[in-house]
Structure formats: C-alpha cells, structure tokens
Structure 1
C-alpha cells in the first residue's frame, strides 16, 4: 500500500469542510491481533458509549489471530447495543500497525458507502470514555480530523513518562500561543495516537487512508491532513484510556517507549527553540497567504525563511488555503537546536513561555 502524497484540489477541500449532518452515523474501527483477553473490557466500554441517539457501528479487523478472538466476538455480537462487523484476515500485519489500521478503516468505509459519517479508531487494549463519540462529534463540527487525549491506566506507576507527556502538552499549548487557529480546542494536548482519533469520512477518503507504516501511521496522516489544508484539532475532551503494557503492535510505539524508560534510559528531547522558530514562521506564513500576490509580502516572507520569492509564490499557487501554505512553506528549523535532556528542555520552555507572556502583556 503506497504512502500517499496529498494534494487536494480547492473544490475537493470545499466538499470536505461542508456541514456535518446531525444524522451522521459513527463507525468505530479497531485493528486487533490475539487480544481475546482484552475484548471483554473493550466491549463493556463500547456498550457504555453515549451516541446521542444516533447509529453506532463497530468494525473489528482481526489480523491473523490464532486465539479465540473471533469466537468470543461472534458469541457476543447478538447481545450488544450496536452493530458489530467482524473481518478476519490470514494476512499478518503484526509488523505493520499502519496496514492493520488501514484495513480496519477500510471496513468502516465499506459499511458507510458514499455517505458522510464519523470514523473513529482505537485499539483493543483501550477503553473509550462514555462521552467519546459525543465529544468527537462536537470536535468534528469544528474540524476535519481530531486527535483525542490518551490516558494510561495506572499511569502514575510510570512517572518518567508522565513527566514527558506533561512537557509535550506544555509545548503544544505554547505552539497555539504562537500560532493560534480557530478550529483548535480550548483544552488542547500533544497526543497523535491511533488509539484515539476521529475523522469526517469525506476527509479520510480525500487523504487516501492511513499509510501502511510499521509505526507512526497516526502522526503521518495528521501531518498530511494539515499539508492538504484540512483542519486538524487536538481535543482533550475526547478521552481514551489505554494500557501501559510493554509489548505492543507498533515497533516504535508507546510500549517501546515505556520499555526504554524501564531500562533507565534518561529521556532526551529536541530543544524547544527549534519548534518555536517553526511555529512563529507558520504564523507569519499564515498571515501572508491572503496577500501573497504582493511582491513586498513575498519578499519579506522569503527573507525570513531563507527562500526565494519565486519559490514562495510557486508553493502558494499549489495551496488551497493558508493552513496548507503554512505547513508546506516553512522548512526545518535552522541548525543549532539539538537534542537536550528533558530537564534542560523544560527550563528552556519556561523561558520561552515567560517571554511570550511578557509580549502578550
């Protein structure tokens, strides 16, 4: 399955951001492999979902399972308050989490057909909060794709990971201080995990689906959505609890991170100054897009980004809106912002936050 390079036409974008019907069904897509022990808790959480009187369908893609998952699900199907669709594949995607999630979402699209709807995805070791669908619907009224907050059960047992997550939440809030967008949630966060995402079906179709990557398919599709000019929202009101297990599907997923922290590996992160430079540049590009036809505007932005004015104009002509332009035109941060310890990054971010507060005042 090829990784798609997204280039939506302006007329396609207008279709994607059309009003969301009140009757749009919600379809949950879940990839799973040998999760028989976890399905009872997952089904219990799904049964408790508040769907606002709408239609809920759950699609579970069994990826080369060798346990009793399919038997358990088929026995439970008749007792569930929602429609359960099960597909079993002998093709093993155990080393490719993106391919498995893509297959689960393809099931959801097949059920939905050409209609508009809400596509949710989570994992078998996760439990959506009861208002997950309702919060997702509210978010998708404002946006085209939404990433919800992921909460680890018994997370306090992993203080190092809690500290990392708190840092990245602060960093993302700082991003929106520098580069505010109208569709962002007031209570935002940094998570981009496939355990908690939702899309307008039209947006997901336009993106071509999750890329078939061994890991990172979730962050990749959100990056491509922004490059296409779609509205990506991170909303802390949409919550899923997940496990803190050390053996997971994705080679570089949460389980691998927790295992590395268990080994005593000290956490290091990119210096926040590089991110701050990019986000300030995003804000400048976003503001310039409406008047990019002006030679002075192009020249000023080009000088800031160390590009030519002709290059700036060429990129702008290929972009449907300011969001796509801001994400596509801004290059990587200049050299000099390396990897530092988490403690050093926290200190640097504090200084940046103070500076931003003084400017705002």
Structure 2
C-alpha cells in the first residue's frame, strides 16, 4: 500500500465565467478540509482554459491558489490530459500522486478530497463518484433519479467526479483526446489493467443542468431528451431532432 503525498485537481473549462467561481470555491473548501486533516499533503489545482472567449481567465486569476493553463484543443479529453501532463513532473513518484477530476460547472462537497485520498491510502487506484444535476424541473429530476442508481457499486463514470492514482493513469494511457467519453475510456483501461477500484456514492457532486452542451451526445443532450420524454414537449434549447 502506498500513501498519497500529493494531490492534483484538474478542471477543464470552456467559457464558464458564470459557474467557475462556485466550482473553485467548493474546491477551496475541500482543499481546506484536507489540509486540516492531512497538512503534509501538497495540493495543486489546475484549470485548463480550453478555447475560452469569455472572462474565465480573469476568474481564475482571482484565485491565488489556482494555476491556469491555456489550451487550444477545443476538446475536453485533450484539455483534461493537458492539465494532468502539466502537473506531473518527469521522474516524480507517480504512485504517491493522486489525480482528482471535476468540471467547471460542478460543485464538490467539503469532504471530496478527504474521501478520495482516504480510499487511495487504502490501496485503491481509481475512485468513480456520482453526480446529481441541480436546477432541474421537478418531473425531470424525478425521472432522472429513477434511472440512476446512486448507491455503492453504481455503474456510472463521470469526469466531473473521478479520482485516479497517477501511476495507474499513465499506465492506462491517460485521458484520450476525444470530445466525449474520455472519462469512460480511462476508467475501462484502468479496470482492465487489474488496478483496484471502487464506484461510490460517498462524495456526490452537483453539476449544472444545462440544456446546451459542448458536443452532441453528452450530458446536456441526455437531459434534453429526458425532459422531452417526461413533458411531451421539447425542452428549452432542444431541436426537433435530438441525437446522442
């Protein structure tokens, strides 16, 4: 069993000036909670500004304990990978570095990092957490809840709530430079390697229930389709033909 000595939080952002402050504030709280219990741990937060055209960079600049990285990839998988690569020094002890992944439109709980590090110190190499959308209309949220098992051993993979040991991440090839499901691909590769993993609802995060996503087939597409099913009318921002 190898104890964690360093934590890196990677947050990809594309024009998220409105939601990014809540995300970074929640990470700051989680970081403080970890420091209270594990003051010896080094923690770095990296926000990858992926083709941002708004004031996201200025938002990050207001946080002295957050590092920013500019990406021109226009691809969430490449953005996540760039954030990890920038934070992992060559020759470092990757068994003792823990990578925590979330999204700029997501708020993490206060014990988010504590829980991930605790599981890592127990010998786990991959932690798959749960996500709940907020600000959904009641009927849509009810339908969403009926279709999502949020207990221990859940079947979901979310880049907005994922943790992985750096050595396992590298051995699995890291986040693929794809616009969708880079989190699923990484999780599958880590599992296939025989690394120890867990799917847990212990540290659930809250993510924005937006209707328009960056790519077709993602979380926003799913929410639009779900809203259409329960309401029998197109949800705000939906098109007549929905894909994904």
TM, length-normalised to structure 1: 0.57
- Asked if structure 2 preserves the Cα contact closer than 8 Å seen for 1:121 and 1:196, the reply is yes
Match of 1:192 among 157, 177, 186: 157
1:136 aligned onto 2:136: no
Match of 2:174 among 209, 214, 237: 209
Q: 1:263, CA displacement in angstroms?
A: 2.2
Counterpart-to-counterpart distance in 1, 2:129 and 2:137: 20
- Asked if structure 2 preserves the Cα contact closer than 8 Å seen for 1:29 and 1:104, the reply is yes
Counterpart-to-counterpart distance in 2, 1:20 and 1:232: 15
Q: 1:248, CA displacement in angstroms?
A: 2.2
Match of 2:221 among 249, 256, 276: 256
Tell me the residue number matched to 2:239. none
- Deviation sequence 1:59-98 (CA, Å, 0-9, x none): 0110011111112211x123xxxx3111112x241xx322
- Asked if structure 2 preserves the Cα contact closer than 8 Å seen for 1:155 and 1:162, the reply is no
Q: How do 1:1-361 and structure 2 match up within 5 A? A: 19-21=1-3, 24-49=5-30, 50-51=33-34, 52=37, 53=39, 54-74=41-61, 76-78=62-64, 83-89=65-71, 91-93=72-74, 96-110=75-89, 113-115=92-94, 116-140=96-120, 141-155=122-136, 157=138, 158=140, 159-166=142-149, 169=150, 187-264=152-229
- Deviation sequence 1:276-312 (CA, Å, 0-9, x none): xxxxxxxxxxxxxxxxxxxxxxxxxxxxxxxxxxxxx
- Asked if structure 1 preserves the Cα contact closer than 8 Å seen for 2:97 and 2:166, the reply is yes
Counterpart-to-counterpart distance in 2, 1:212 and 1:255: 20
Counterpart-to-counterpart distance in 1, 2:118 and 2:90: 23
Counterpart-to-counterpart distance in 2, 1:132 and 1:104: 19
- Asked if structure 1 preserves the Cα contact closer than 8 Å seen for 2:9 and 2:99, the reply is yes
Q: How many residues align?
A: 221
Counterpart-to-counterpart distance in 1, 2:91 and 2:49: 19
Counterpart-to-counterpart distance in 2, 1:236 and 1:105: 24
Give the RMSD, CA atoms, in angstroms: 2.2
- Closer, same or farther in 2 for the Cα pair 1:38/1:112, shift >3 Å? farther
Any unmatched runs of 5+ in structure 2?
Answer: 232-244
Counterpart-to-counterpart distance in 1, 2:89 and 2:105: 24
Name whichever of 153-162 and 121-130 sits farther off. 153-162
User: Which is richer in helix?
Assistant: 1
Counterpart-to-counterpart distance in 1, 2:137 and 2:145: 7
- Asked if structure 1 preserves the Cα contact closer than 8 Å seen for 2:130 and 2:204, the reply is yes
- Asked if structure 1 preserves the Cα contact closer than 8 Å seen for 2:2 and 2:123, the reply is no
What secondary structure is seen at the aligned counterpart in 2 of 1:65?
coil
- Bigger radius of gyration among the two: 1
Counterpart-to-counterpart distance in 2, 1:112 and 1:36: 35
- Closer, same or farther in 2 for the Cα pair 1:72/1:65, shift >3 Å? same
What secondary structure is seen at the aligned counterpart in 1 of 2:79?
helix
